[in-house]
Chain A
Amino acid sequence: QVQLVESGGGLVQPGGSLRLSCAASGFTFSDSYMNWIRQAPGKGLEWISYISGSGTTIYYADSVKGRFTISRDNAKNSVYLQMSRLRAEDTAFYYCVSGGTTYFDYWGQGTLVTVSS
Chain B
Amino acid sequence: QTVVTQEPSLTVSPGGTVTLTCASSTGAVTSGFYPNWFQQKPGQAPRALIYNTNNKHSWIPARFSGSLLGGKAALTLSGVQPEDEAEYYCLLYYGGAWVFGGGTKLTVL
Contacts and interface: CB of A to CB of B under 8 A. Distances in A.
Interface in B39-98: 40, 45-48, 51-52, 55, 57, 89, 91, 93, 96-98
Nearest to A103: B51
A44 B45 contact: no
A56 to B, nearest CB: 14
B51 A47 contact: no
Nearest to B47: A107
- Give the size range of B's interface with the partner: 20 to 34
B46 A95 contact: yes
A59 B97 CA distance: 7
A87 B51 CA distance: 33
A45 B45 contact: no
Interface residues of A, number: 20
Contact of B34 (A61, A101, A109): A101
B99 interface: yes
Nearest to B31: A102
B14 interface: no
B36 interface: yes
A29 interface: no
A101 B102 CA distance: 20
Given A102-B52, A103-B51, A103-B55, A47 B45 contact: no
B89 A45 contact: yes
Interface string A62-103: 000000000000000000000000000000000100010111
7 interchain residue pairs of minimum CB distance: A103-B51, A47-B98, A102-B52, A45-B100, A102-B34, A107-B45, A59-B96
Interface of B: 34, 36, 38, 40, 45-48, 51-52, 55, 57, 89, 91, 93, 96-103
